[in-house]
Structure formats: structure tokens, C-alpha cells
């Protein structure tokens, strides 16, 4: 039995990795809002600042319909490129779940979102790509726990210096979401076949 387990366990681990699939897409909609201005839905830039002193928020949504319901989200990372801002000033940003539907071309007001849960906290300290880990939120969207209205992020700590990011309308360095997931039932079905094959030896 010990010999069988020594063969089976690595096989199951490898099988899980091989069954994982990936999603890598640009936003279906993105914009930034500043009450009293805009809309900025067609702008090549996304802009944020410190809340509540200067109410500038970045709002992004992704179409996740290609990820099957019931999938297990192994990882989900929002990648976004900061191309301008005043440094060495530091702005710290939090990312939250949007709780209302919106249209990129007409959104001008601060959007409703759940401020009780920050899904990630990122410190901006230079021109670069930045990553937000939103695996827990993507899992909730796939499970139907919450409607997918996207995310909003903005500065929660810092000096109030505007920071500029590329939008999906920019010429390059568009934001994108990378998701690694395992479809429902795939691992169970494959591992059962692997177990049967081992005992048939």
C-alpha cells in the first residue's frame, strides 16, 4: 500500500496542474470617475488619487463568461500599468467590489462599492506594472455569491498626488486579468481513472 501511495500522490498532484486552464483578457469596460467631470470611458488613461480628499476612482470590469460555473479559482491577478505620477510620493491603493451596474460611456459619479472588504492593498512607488490579487473575489463571482459588476480601486493612504494608468483604449500596456482555474469535475474524474489504472497493474 505504501508503494502505491508513493506513486499515486505525485500523480494526483501533477494531474491537478495539467487540468488547470487559464483566462487572460483585457477589460470589457474601464473608466475613471471624478464627480463633476467626465465621463472618461473612452480615455486612454485611468486616474486615481487619495480618497476622500480628491475623489478619483478607477473602475474596471471583465467578462468572465468563458470560465465555467463551478470552477475552482487557483489564482486571479489584475495587472495594470502606472505610466505617470509624481514620485517619490507614495500612494497606497485598495481594491473593492463594485455593487451596482454601470456603463463605461456614461459613468461620472462615485460608484457604489463594498468598503468593508479590501481584496488587496498595493503601494505605488514608481512607474511600473502593479498586481492586485483578487482570487477570492473572482471565486465569489464564479460561484454566483456576488454579481460581477467589476472592481474599483483608489488611494486610501498617501499625499493626494494623481497617478495615471493605461486603459484598454491606450496604444499599449492595457490592463488585463490573469486567472488560473480548474473546471468543476475535471480533477475528480481524472483521478478516479488514475486510481483504477494503478490498481489494474
pLDDT, residue 14, reads: 45
Can you give the residue ranges of every domain in the chain?
20-190
CA distance 177 to 54: 27
Q: What angle do CA 56, 94, 123 make, to 5 degrees?
A: 100
* Mean pLDDT of the region 36-41: 89
Nearest CA to 182 out of 66, 63, 64, 70 is that of 70
For 80-136, how does the pLDDT look when each residue is reduced to its tens digit (9 = 90+)?
999 998 766 788 999 999 999 999 999 998 999 999 999 999 999 889 999 999 999
CA distance 122 to 63: 24
* Mean pLDDT of the region 56-70: 97
Listing DSSP states for 117-130 in one string gives --SEEEEE-SSEEE
> Does this model's pTM top 0.85?
no
Q: Assign residue 137 a region (left: φ > 0; alpha: ψ between -120 and 50; beta: otherwise).
A: alpha
CA distance 107 to 125: 28
Which residues touch 198 (CB under 8 Å, ≥6 apart)? Answer: 4, 7, 8, 11
Q: Which residues of 107-122 are buried (b: 16+ CB within 10 A; e: fewer)?
A: beebbebeeeeebbeb
Helix (H) or strand (E) holding 174: none
* Mean pLDDT of the region 45-53: 86
Q: Is the peptide bond before 39 cis (omega within 30 degrees of 0)?
A: yes
Q: Classify the C-alpha dihedral 44-172-29-132 as positive or negative.
A: negative
Amino acid at each position: 500500500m505504501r508503494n502505491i501511495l508513493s506513486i499515486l500522490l505525485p500523480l494526483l498532484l501533477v494531474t491537478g496542474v495539467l487540468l488547470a486552464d487559464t483566462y487572460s483578457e483585457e477589460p470589457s469596460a474601464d473608466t475613471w470617475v471624478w464627480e463633476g467631470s467626465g465621463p472618461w470611458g473612452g480615455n486612454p488613461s485611468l486616474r486615481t488619487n487619495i480618497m476622500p480628499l480628491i475623489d478619483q476612482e478607477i473602475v474596471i470590469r471583465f467578462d468572465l463568461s468563458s470560465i465555467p460555473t463551478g470552477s475552482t479559482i487557483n489564482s486571479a491577478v489584475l495587472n495594470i500599468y502606472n505610466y505617470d505620477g509624481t514620485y517619490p510620493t507614495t500612494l497606497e491603493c485598495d481594491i473593492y467590489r463594485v455593487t451596482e451596474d454601470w456603463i463605461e460611456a456614461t459613468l461620472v459619479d462615485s460608484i457604489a462599492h463594498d468598503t468593508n472588504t479590501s481584496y488587496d492593498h498595493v503601494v505605488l512607488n514608481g512607474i511600473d506594472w502593479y498586481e492586485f490579487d483578487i482570487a477570492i473575489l473572482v471565486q465569489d463571482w464564479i460561484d454566483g455569491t456576488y454579481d460581477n459588476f467589476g472592481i474599483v480601486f483608489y488611494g486610501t493612504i498617501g499625499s493626494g498626488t494623481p497617478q495615471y494608468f493605461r486603459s484598454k483604449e491606450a496604444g499599449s500596456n492595457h490592463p488585463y486579468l490573469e486567472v488560473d482555474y480548474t473546471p468543476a469535475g475535471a480533477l475528480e474524474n481524472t483521478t478516479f481513472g488514475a486510481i483504477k489504472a494503478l490498481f489494474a497493474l
